[in-house]
Structure 1
């Protein structure tokens, strides 16, 4: 990237942003927030018909923020939305998005677009400096969902989402007056990220969270990939710009065993594990302090998924909790991690079983490799000290303000002991997880509008899109644009010290990335 492109002035905010002022450039040490885990392009994943709406459309917002066709006329047929929102496949919602937005986006609506580009712009103007955009895929979920317009091949989906990310960059550039002039910049190195942030723009890092990287699934324990296939896959992802990757996600694969899901969602994911691998999860009662999430007592698989289980096959019974996956890191998984280290990539430890995470950390510690991240609170908390000691980074899942503040407080003694300032969030926007809900009991000390960003450079009022006006006190983080409001809410709960520690988060992430990238040839 040319220096002139990095320092071109951002365009003034559009009418959907709800922010006045421009973020200042920030040289080292960077001051600003990091989102270590979100999914801007997941609308193209899972067959392309599961998530409704897009982060941008060349023909305008009225084409981008529309509901899925099968959700009309009243949401009754939207069984996946209903189930993930209420726990029942039965329900209704107003499918009209732009301009009324009566039912969505909402913090607990998981199948509707949460990261429209002007909402992300508001978060950037409000303090976001580094955003890790994870390309995401799940072949089995794609196969299960009956509607699709895209291939279920995970690598094809990742390529398409990378393409869409660069198209979004071009779209924002065009709005700002030409190539390199937009506020959204995909970066391939820590040095480029620092240059972009110094120019007052958002550094976007590509990551990958997929269940079968490079086709590395397994059937009855037999792997479907080779070391050469992994090497080619890593080379391809690196060439696309990917710098951070998960080794496994949701289902056991040929690389590692996973950390279980709990509750009814766990029942469904366990069914997916069976359909993907030919086996349900296998668990033992843990003997050490670390453990995976508890597998709940087997219940009924909700319709229409119940039809996917073969006749006479039922969910297994498990030993007493705490539960640990019997599967750890395989030889192929170790090969992938070594390949990531050789390329200076960041290893995502979340979603690994404790057995796999323990083995992976042993491997990273033996090499003194700092490039390890827990990006959305999906690992045993006892591993955080090992991550920090390596020089890694933790970005916590985006819970409501009081809960996130409590997580931040718990982290402080360890980070102070190890000299690791800087805290981040992994919002998991568009990742089939709820965004932060309204803070309970906030009537006595609500967020007051307008308020200013952490650095005083930008004034933010209630965010308006079309006919809808959102208020974090009532709506929580209904979409990505309300992240600055959520951080302001946390300031009310925990004080300016929390906000300033989070404002050191982008620098902390970049230092972890720099330590990893320094190991590449």
Structure 2
């Protein structure tokens, strides 16, 4: 009764815009909010599912299963969307800073409850000790849009002197470091006080307007491979958006008994949530200007002076920096500062893919080009290959493309007697994020796959006791535990084992990358 309209609005937004490919969605004629089948624990009849992004994928038993399959190092990130949290009447806290604080606290408690097989690593030495003891090393990280809540501070923050702003940024970086956070995305899905994010989804542009007060400024990419157009659906979108606020005003101002509060004598209304959505999607001058910018749209905002300062402060603490969601201009500036900091500071691209434009790939600035990947590898940084909806064959193909992108660098380094860099290429699942998990090879035989002592995973006692027995050959990677099976599938498909072996080298490379960060710090 305390959230009567939010549940329906939440269901509509999630099912229409985020989990739109979930296999168990109900026919639209059966429900106006595009809902799906709900039955989960203990039989897990409908979820988690490989086609769903938003159902729980990381129950502790499933993480343990992945560890038993060879996973030794995992980065656990706090994530949030202020637009979604506010628009769908979600539970508090809705702001990035407070939400991240709560998540970091709960991740610590979660890991402590399962200390039999996992432990948080606060240093590279911790990581080596934990992995050496046969446990999973967990690194705490943050992947939020509004670091420090500085965008929410509005004019109060902007009207401060540069010295005052820098002092607050430095204090916030130190605060999260003292929480145990070691892995940071300075920029995520919308612009913030540090710089511009990658342009690759209109939904994130709406989030940008909600977080910053305006849509992104865009320009045309110098890379012809990028043909992305930020005009949302089509040229008629500005007209549609101009109509939406009026519709929302009508709905918001009219009592909605079908979404009533359930309390006699009162009537519910959706106005707060719809008002937030209205503000986020109302077209402004920037949106109109998008039509005059030649497609191949990228963010025109690079790193701000405050963003450059923040990067250097993170480096001084030896923190692990991920530049994955930065726009091209921000990425170029971040790499410059990484390259000049004490001879070269590692930065990462945590869950990404090679920029390419063909019938199967539509390049945006979110994807890294070969030159960027080589620069990251030369700094001894890492690249996490995204696995979203890939089959093992597709994963192997994409992995080898990234290997080729750094091969020239490897040949040069080999002449100089340096270690090969293939371990720099790891796996970035984005599990419990906004990407689906990978698929299985089609036509696998279940009995043959689960043989020679390799057994299926049971949850809640397994199917025989009313729980669930998971079969990767039929379901793909429905949850994180089935990454164990996925890597077995990769091994079977990767005849010369070059990809499979290099993936397992990545844990050692992560330790070396972190050691280098620490060695260059001021600590």
- The reply to whether TM is greater than 0.5 is yes
Tell me how far apart the structure 1 counterparts of residues 318 and 203 of structure 2 sit (CA, whole Å).
Answer: 35
Task: Name the one with the larger helix percent.
Answer: 2
Measure how far apart 1:481 and its partner are: 0.6
1:249 is aligned to 2:188: yes
1:125 is aligned to 2:127: no
Measure how far apart 1:430 and its partner are: 0.9
User: Any idea what the Cα deviations from partners look like across 1:64-112, whole Å, max 9, x if unmatched?
Assistant: xxxx9987xxx99722331222278843323222112111101222221
1:158 is aligned to 2:100: yes
Of residues 285-294 and 225-234 in structure 1, the stretch that sits farther from structure 2 once superposed is: 285-294
| Counterparts of residues 304-343 of structure 1 (less than 5 Å) | 307-309=278-280, 313=284, 315-316=287-288, 317-318=290-291, 319-343=293-317
Aligned to 1:205: 139
User: Any idea what the Cα deviations from partners look like across 1:104-133, whole Å, max 9, x if unmatched?
Assistant: 101222221110000000000100000000
Q: Is the 8 A contact 1:394 1:424 kept in 2?
A: yes
Aligned to 2:257: none
Tell me how far apart the structure 1 counterparts of residues 430 and 379 of structure 2 sit (CA, whole Å).
Answer: 24
Tell me how far apart the structure 2 counterparts of residues 159 and 312 of structure 1 sit (CA, whole Å).
Answer: 33
Pair 1:79–1:388, CA change in 2 (3 A): same
Pair 1:326–1:165, CA change in 2 (3 A): same
Aligned to 1:344: 318
| Counterparts of residues 47-446 of structure 1 (less than 5 Å) | 78-83=11-16, 84-86=18-20, 90-148=33-91, 150-173=92-115, 182-217=116-151, 223=158, 226-261=165-200, 266-288=201-223, 294-298=229-233, 299=237, 307-309=278-280, 313=284, 315-316=287-288, 317-318=290-291, 319-367=293-341, 368-377=343-352, 378-382=366-370, 383-399=372-388, 400=390, 401-417=392-408, 418=410, 419-422=420-423, 423-439=425-441, 442-443=442-443
Measure how far apart 1:310 and its partner are: 7.0
Aligned to 1:28: none
Q: Is the 8 A contact 1:397 1:425 kept in 2?
A: yes
Tell me how far apart the structure 2 counterparts of residues 490 and 125 of structure 1 sit (CA, whole Å).
Answer: 16
Aligned to 2:256: none
Q: Is the 8 A contact 2:350 2:385 kept in 1?
A: yes
Report which structure shows greater RCO (CA 8 Å, sep ≥6).
1
Task: Report SS of the residue matched to 1:109.
Answer: coil
The runs of 5 or more residues in structure 1 that have no matched partner are 1-48, 50-67, 174-181, 453-458
Tell me how far apart the structure 2 counterparts of residues 159 and 310 of structure 1 sit (CA, whole Å).
Answer: 29
Tell me how far apart the structure 2 counterparts of residues 271 and 194 of structure 1 sit (CA, whole Å).
Answer: 42
- After TM superposition, the score normalised by the length of structure 1 is 0.76
Q: Is the 8 A contact 2:224 2:296 kept in 1?
A: no
Q: Is the 8 A contact 2:9 2:88 kept in 1?
A: no
Measure how far apart 1:186 and its partner are: 0.2
Measure how far apart 1:499 and its partner are: 1.1
The runs of 5 or more residues in structure 2 that have no matched partner are 22-27, 249-273, 353-365, 411-419, 461-466
Higher Rg? 2
Tell me how far apart the structure 2 counterparts of residues 107 and 344 of structure 1 sit (CA, whole Å).
Answer: 37
- After TM superposition, the score normalised by the length of structure 2 is 0.76
Tell me how far apart the structure 2 counterparts of residues 310 and 427 of structure 1 sit (CA, whole Å).
Answer: 30
Tell me how far apart the structure 1 counterparts of residues 95 and 198 of structure 2 sit (CA, whole Å).
Answer: 23
User: Any idea what the Cα deviations from partners look like across 1:152-174, whole Å, max 9, x if unmatched?
Assistant: 2322222211111121122113x
Task: Name the one with the larger strand percent.
Answer: 1
Aligned to 1:178: none
Aligned to 1:501: 502
Tell me how far apart the structure 2 counterparts of residues 292 and 373 of structure 1 sit (CA, whole Å).
Answer: 25
Aligned to 2:458: 464
Aligned length: 431
User: Any idea what the Cα deviations from partners look like across 1:159-199, whole Å, max 9, x if unmatched?
Assistant: 211111121122113xxxxxxxx211001111110011011
Tell me how far apart the structure 2 counterparts of residues 190 and 290 of structure 1 sit (CA, whole Å).
Answer: 38
Q: Is the 8 A contact 2:19 2:54 kept in 1?
A: no
Measure how far apart 1:343 and its partner are: 0.4
User: CA RMSD, aligned part only?
Assistant: 2.9
Task: Report SS of the residue matched to 2:109.
Answer: helix
